[in-house]
Structure 1
Amino acid sequence: MNKLRTLACTAAALATVVALPAADAHAQSIVLCSQAALRTAITQANAAPGPNTLFLAPGCTYTLTAPDNGTNGLPVVTSDITVVGSLLGTQNVIRRQSAAAFRIFSVQGPNARLTLNNLTVRDGRSGSDGGGGILNVGGALTLNSVEVTSNLAEFNSAGGGIWSSGALTVRNSAVSFNRATNNGGGLASFGTATISNTTVTGNTARDSGGGMDARGGLTLTNSRVTDNAAGANGGGIDAFALTGTVTDTLVRGNTIAGDATAGGGVLNEGGSTLTLERTTVFANRSLGSGGQGGGIANSGAGDTVNLRNSSVSYNYAMSAPGGIFNNGGTVSLTATPVVENHPTNCSPGVIAGCTN
């Protein structure tokens, strides 16, 4: 193993890409351990027909010290590219280490497909177009066993970790400790988001959606949305103008701090219908003066929250109610206890089956 690592590090200095024989017209390449090699590999994959798979060097941290183009650390992905990290030993890392601000990956256009497997994306820093770690504009972005961490979307932009207006799929991953100066501290999805077996934790947004800002469509399954914070609404999840489902998920310890704000755990707004099935909303907080709905806030007429076989408990708000705040929309409870919230459980008289 030591000999293999020595050879990999020596070869890295050559900054070349070693091609593997194609199988079923699916091009494959090994990317040696340097930022130049990774940039070359993506450029070549964009130019080649058909899908391309890039295998990262075992244990390598690809450190980006300057942008490749504009505010992007790597060439913009415009074709079908899969980047595969090491399955054994230390996970591959792709990170920014520079005084210059730039994100790590950018995906652009309807024919662009980027799949990331078994790696970490960290320390990206975007400009006003958002997506501190990864930006997806109209393409398809898939993350399998990926950690997106410690990225920043600055200049009043959204999506500290990820900004996506296309199809976003996240499996068995973590979106953690990212920051946005607008919405979506962890991620902002303005297309469709399908997220499973994933932890969204420790993210912050100056405005709404500390964990995630989801618009268009959301399917969240077997996941954890924990310990995120927003300056306005939706400490964990801000669901806006969508039809979405949250299933077998824990929403815990999320916080909002702005005055007269709502939805420490979940905010449902903009004509959304959100269904929570077998989901626990626990110990979230609305801490601003006049804040309501420490657990869940349903913003207004046209907004619907359906809770089935779930629970809303031990949430806190500065003003009543602490559990579920319903502001003229529809909230239905099926086999869902709403208990031990402070100062009260629900908006009085407007949620059938909820008592204070």
Structure 2
Amino acid sequence: SLNLNNVEVTRNNGINPGIGAGIYNEEGMLIIIDSNLSGNTAMSDGGGLVNNNASAILTRTRVSGNLSGGCGGGIANKNMGVMTLITAEVTGINKADGAGAGLCNQATMSVTEGSIISTNEAKAGGGGIYSSGSLTIRNSFVQDNTALDLNNNSVGLGGGLFTVADSSTTVTQSAITNNSAATAGAGVATDGILNILNSTISANFGTVTGGMFVMENGNATLVNVTMVDNEALIGTFGSGLHVLSGTAVLGNTIIANTTQAFNTCTNASGTITSLGHNLSDDETCFSEATDLVNTDPMLAELSNGARMPQLGSPVIDTADLLMCTETAVAHTDQLGQERPIFNGCDIGAVEWPGVNLYLPAIMQ
């Protein structure tokens, strides 16, 4: 085992075999606390760190400015590796010629407790995170990442998050915002199993799909999600959600785009299923009796990764109560507020806190 506390791992080069230029951990236990991994370059995977068939925990550690010729400019988690990031930052333009500029997960990974995955650039998809394994994102931020298409391979998918076939991903109480993609799914592109709960996907920009792109094998379930103001350069596949031939199931969810005239949702040969109590600003997403369509959600601007309902918003107290309280995770919103506050739960990722009234004392 190796414990690193308050250390700098910087400006290392991995040439042959060219993996894990900063740190290479194989079949060991690695703990890194209050440290920096920066400016490392690997010819293959994991510019900053490779965790190969091993265990690693990174706490309050920054991974920045690393480069890889393959997967994982910042970190690559491979084979049977188990990795946990706690209040970590993978940021500062980590770059990958392959996928997953910030994080490349091919095993089991958890990103938790206020971790930030930001300003990373991948040439082959997954600007922030690429996953072909098991991934959990909880109470964290995936923001300002870019999936390029400089390899001319028509990838450029998943500016924030790209999950491929046979992967399993759960996102709770998190924000995926301000990411961009050269093709589709600027916020999220998925070809695997994806569950998102009490989270926000907002202000992402893609060429053909801004918010979420569900691919051939994709199976996405969204409950109490706010997916708003995502943009597409070309409106063919919708600005919010496009289902190619996979499946999307949504409940207590907002999908709206107040900045473009494109359809909010599009469906090629897949399935979009409503569990009810959703809201859309047009008629392209939902058709259940309890869904609100052609309705402005009346949300505040993006702040701390969330879009708070405003006074008078139609999402207040109109969600399905069972969906938002049936588990311990479900009844806590994105910002940590227990649901419900008033008579019912709110549609979307966050509960409206109400209005504080000041009642002056009456002097006698």
Q: What TM-score, normalized by structure 2, do the two folds share?
A: 0.70
In structure 1, what is the equivalent of residue 255 of structure 2? 312
Counting only pairs closer than 5 Å after superposition, residues 198-209 of structure 1 correspond to structure 2 as: 198-206=140-148, 207-209=156-158
In structure 2, what is the equivalent of residue 292 of structure 1? 237
Q: Could you tell me whether the CA contact under 8 Å between 2:30 and 2:56 is conserved in 1?
A: yes
Aligned residues: 278
Deviations 1:149-196 (A, max 9, x none): 1344443x1001111110111112110000000110001000111110
- Paired AA for residue 11 in structure 2: L
- Describe the shift of the 1:136–1:273 C-alpha distance in structure 2 as closer, same or farther (beyond 3 A): same
Secondary structure of 1:76's counterpart equals strand
Of 136, 145, 151 in structure 1, the residue corresponding to residue 87 of structure 2 is 145
Secondary structure of 2:60's counterpart equals strand
Which has the larger share of strand?
Answer: 1
Q: Could you tell me whether the CA contact under 8 Å between 1:167 and 1:191 is conserved in 2?
A: yes
Instruction: List gaps (5 residues or longer) in structure 2.
Output: 149-155, 295-364
Q: Could you tell me whether the CA contact under 8 Å between 1:150 and 1:161 is conserved in 2?
A: no
Of 214, 217, 220 in structure 2, the residue corresponding to residue 268 of structure 1 is 214
Of 7, 11, 14 in structure 2, the residue corresponding to residue 64 of structure 1 is 11
Q: What TM-score, normalized by structure 1, do the two folds share?
A: 0.72
Q: Could you tell me whether the CA contact under 8 Å between 1:276 and 1:307 is conserved in 2?
A: yes
Q: More relative contact order in 1 or in 2 (CA 8 Å, sep 6+)? A: 2
Of 41, 47, 55 in structure 2, the residue corresponding to residue 103 of structure 1 is 47
Which has the larger share of helix?
Answer: 1
Percent of matched pairs sharing the same residue: 25
- Paired AA for residue 212 in structure 2: V
Q: Could you tell me whether the CA contact under 8 Å between 2:65 and 2:95 is conserved in 1?
A: no
- Paired AA for residue 49 in structure 2: F
Higher radius of gyration, 1 or 2: 1
Residues in 2 aligned to 1:331 and 1:152: alpha-carbon distance in whole angstroms: 35
Of 226, 247, 261 in structure 1, the residue corresponding to residue 197 of structure 2 is 247
In structure 1, what is the equivalent of residue 109 of structure 2? 168
Calculate the aligned-residue CA RMSD, in Å.
2.4
Instruction: List gaps (5 residues or longer) in structure 1.
Output: 1-51, 87-91
Residues in 1 aligned to 2:252 and 2:41: alpha-carbon distance in whole angstroms: 48
Residues in 2 aligned to 1:315 and 1:268: alpha-carbon distance in whole angstroms: 22
1:81 and 2:29 correspond: yes
